[in-house]
Amino acid sequence: MKLKTGDDHLQIGELSRSLGVTARTLRLYEQMGLIDPPQRTDGGIRYYTKDDIRRIKFVLKLKELGLSLVQMQELAEIYSETKMPDRIMPRLIELLDSHTDAIHRRIGRLSSLARDISEYRKRIVDFYGIPR
């Protein structure tokens, strides 16, 4: 996302539109501790800095990769304790490996199911003499 020239922050509505999420999602992520509370104007309007935006994009990428909110909270807690992104990477690798393994197991089950369905279909076609 590119900030407008001269701007060093975005308000919640601008940010949510540019990232394709709702303002409610950003507030939820803040409430859950996935992102730090943004700075606010004197009038209480949230505004997000480039660092905030980078963090939000990281959380959105984790969501896209299929990590659960609980897993994302765990990573956020590790980050909050150290403020060093490289400290969360070993745990992130573990979570990604585990998630990848689960996907492969699911693919195996779905492939088996597809074979079962094809075999069952063939038996029905053969039994009832249905043209293919």
Cα separation, 54 vs 124, in Å, equals 55
Is 1 a member of any domain? no
Tokens of 40: 């606010």
Please, what is the Cα angle at 76 between 32 and 33, to 5 degrees? 20
Residue 2 has pLDDT above 70, yes or no: no
Q: Which amino acid is at 43?
A: G
Within a domain: residue 63?
yes
C-alpha atoms less than 13 angstroms from C-alpha of 31 in its C-beta half-sphere = 6
pLDDT, mean over the chain = 90
Question: What is the average pLDDT across 39-43?
Answer: 91
Residue 2 domain flag:
no
The model's pTM: 0.75
Asked if residue 73 belongs to a domain, the reply is: yes
In a domain? residue 24: yes
Residue 86 domain-assigned? yes
